[in-house]
Amino acid sequence: NAGVTQTPKFQVLKTGQSMTLQCAQDMNHEYMSWYRQDPGMGLRLIHYSVGAGITDQGEVPNGYNVSRSTTEDFPLRLLSAAPSQTSVYFCASSGSGTSTDTQYFGPGTRLTVL
């Protein structure tokens, strides 16, 4: 049981490049989410999904795209990377995303945009 996995662990991009951060979970969770962690800030929600085919925006969605074609996978796409997107990205999942559901976090992806 791997839990929540993320790839890659580290990535360096040049401004304007695009890339996809991968996230997968093997717990059959309906709810998946992406957060970014910046120094001096709390975890901020980028996008979330309450099930396959359903996605919605969080607090900081601009510059990011998501899709949820399967229950297991929730990739995060950077369309045209900018230095402001340098951050640590965490994927999380929970059973159904309701108020008392515990979220389980992946190990994170550290992204640097030059």
Partner 1 sequence: ILNVEQSPQSLHVQEGDSTNFTCSFPSSNFYALHWYRWETAKSPEALFVMTLNGDEKKKGRISATLNTKEGYSYLYIKGSQPEDSATYLCAPWAGSYQLTFGKGTKLSVIP
Task: Please state the closest distance from residue 30 (CB atom) to partner 1, in A.
Answer: 10
Cα 45-51-54 angle, rounded to 5 deg: 75
Contact region with partner 1 (CB under 8 A), list: 16-24, 62-70, 77-85, 105-113: 105-113
Contact between 34 and partner 1 (CB under 8 A)? no
Interstrand relation of 64-66 and 76-78 (parallel, antiparallel or unpaired)? antiparallel
Binding of residue 23 to partner 1 (CB under 8 A): no
- Please give the Cα distance from 39 to 75 (Å, whole number): 24
Instruction: Draw the binding track, 35-74, toward partner 1 (x: CB under 8 A; -: no contact).
Output: x----xxxxxx--x-x-----x-xx---------------
Instruction: Examine residue 104 and tell whether it contacts partner 1 (CB under 8 A).
Output: yes
Please count the other Cβ atoms lying within 10 Å of the Cβ belonging to residue 105: 15
Separation CA 31–CA 59 (nearest Å): 17
Of the candidate spans 14-22, 33-41, 61-69, 79-87, the one that interacts with partner 1 by CB under 8 A turns out to be 33-41
